[in-house]
Amino acid sequence: MPLFHFHVAQIRRSKGQSAVAAAAYRAGEKLRSEYYGEDSDYTRKGGVVCSEILRPSHAPAEYADRETLWNAVEKAEPHPKAQLAYSFDIALQNEFSMEENIALARQFLSDEFVSRGMIVDFAVHQPDKKAGIPNPHIHVMCPIRPLEPDGTWGAKQHRVYALDESGNRVRDEVGNYVFNAIPTTDWGKPETLEHWRQTWANRCNQRFAEKGIPVHIDHRSYERQGIDQIPTVHEGPAVRQMEAKGIPTGKGDLNRWIRATNALLKKIRAEIDQLTGWLKENSGNRNAPGLAELLGEYYSIRNAGAYSAKAKVGNLKRYAGDFNFLQARGINNVDQLRDHVSRISDKYSALNASLKKKEARMKELKDLLRLSGDYARLKPTVDGIPPKGGFGKKREKYKAEHDSEIRQYYAVRRKLESALSEKKLNPTEWQAELDRLSREYAAGQGEARALCDELKKLRDIRYKADTALHDQNKHLKIIEHER
């Protein structure tokens, strides 16, 4: 099954991250960070098929060495909250051999990244999965800071100062000059990411076509494609490993829920489309017999071939059930059936939109609850930092001992601040809302199943009506032939 996944993030010191450690993990190597004075050893990590560094022509030759490259990047970024590198995760295709996937990825990265002056460090992973669908993918790291033509590191951005009517720089309320930071490259622009995602999809589709494989991937979201389907959430390697061991996870449960709902919605849409097509073919004939009459004709045919009284009684009961089903819904003819299917279609659209909205909010609430839990866990550590003053050495020792937790705390706090309009944590209210939405989502699934059953019954009646009409037409042809 073809898969499109093309995600980008940033490796940042503000999150307690190291470019050297990230590169070591992706390549499955042991690298030493000069900035942190620490070794990162991932030589026992399995599943790394290959790793490679691609450089533009003006990049120093020593940057072909992974440890040298990423230590140079960390040295060029002295700020404690520096943005160090772009990190891409890109899914490879199971329809291609590993050699084909690697060649396709290398060509894409050379044409789209290296040609822009970017250094590319990529690693191909093929996790050892004993069961389930294989998940080959590539990890790509690129320094955010560009290289100058002479091989030295350039500026990430330049300042454009705000000017008044006289052309003088404008100061803010505390006396600092007001300016806008303008990036020196287009690497971080949404338009560039959109181009990369589309280009990768196009190259995969071109390869599918060359191999005569009738599949297609699309870089756009389901909503942009006009597909009535709820997107699953990205699970990541940690979640997949836990699920593979039989350990249920929140993301795994949510995705199972979403897949079950999508299967129901897909079935409903298919049933509606089939019934709508049949109605278009038959609604123009005003002299066509009513549905009850056609059902009677169908069961008469069934009874004519019945071998026992029990079978005839069974046919009579089924006819009564079908007749009562139609009568309860006020359906006597094709036009009324068309109106009923139209109402079901409207219900489907409303239900689909409602489930999508609930799923998005549930995902948001789960993220908030996770972050608030991390915040509550890490805050006592930050509150325990000795105050400034006469505790200089003690304060520095404490911060060094709890460096990772302190970094995580501030990263979590920033995420919460950006996600919340009010600077207030309400985990109790969030959990209550999540529980309510979960119940409503389950009720929506029940409504979807009811619509499915309704459409299944209508499809069954359509089949019986078609059978009766076919028999009538066959009978008329025999009479005309005898004449």
Q: For tokens 């990230």, name the residue.
A: 22
Asked if 294 and 464 touch (Cβ cutoff 8 Å), the reply is yes
Measure the CA–CA gap between 474 and 205, rounded to whole angstroms: 48
How far is residue 35's CA from residue 108's CA, in Å, rounded to a whole number?
A: 32
pLDDT per residue as tens digits for the range 373-431: 888 999 899 888 888 766 667 888 888 888 878 878 888 887 887 777 666 788 899 99
- Please count the other Cβ atoms lying within 10 Å of the Cβ belonging to residue 159: 11
Angle at alpha carbon of residue 168, lines to 166 and 171, rounded to 5°: 125
- pLDDT tens column, 294-332: 888 888 877 777 677 887 788 788 888 888 888 888 888
Structural contact between residues 231 and 222, judged by C-beta atoms closer than 8 angstroms = yes
User: How far is the CA of 76 from the CAs of 34, 68, 113, 417, in angstroms?
Assistant: 12, 12, 21, 29
pLDDT tens readout for residues 458-479: 888 888 887 877 775 554 444 4
DSSP-assigned letters across all residues of 244-263: HTT---HHHHHHHHHHHHHH
Which has the closest alpha carbon to 156: 187, 132, 112, 124? 187
Half-sphere exposure of 18 (CA within 13 A, CB side): 18
> Which residues of the chain fall below pLDDT 70?
1-2, 128-134, 173-174, 219-254, 282-289, 306, 389-392, 421-423, 472-483
Can you give the residue ranges of every domain in the chain? 6-149+186-219, 248-288+333-483
- Nearest to residue 332, comparing CAs of 372, 299, 288, 375? 288
Query: At 208, which helix (H) or strand (E)?
Result: helix 190-210
pTM above 0.85?
no
Among 95, 93, 350, smallest CA distance to 200 is for: 93
Supply the pLDDT for residue 57: 92
The phi and psi torsions of 143 (rounded to 5 degrees) equal: -60, 140
User: Six-digit token pair at 2?
Assistant: 């073809």
In the structure encoding, which two tokens stand for residue 310, read together? 């029990």
* Residue 342, both tokens: 């139209």
Q: What residues have CB less than 8 Å from 213, skipping those under 6 apart?
A: 95
Q: What is the pLDDT of residue 116?
A: 92
Distance of CA 19 to the CA centre of its chain: 26
Could you tell me which CATH number the domain at 6-149+186-219 has? 3.30.930.30
Cα(133)–Cα(130) distance, integer angstroms: 9
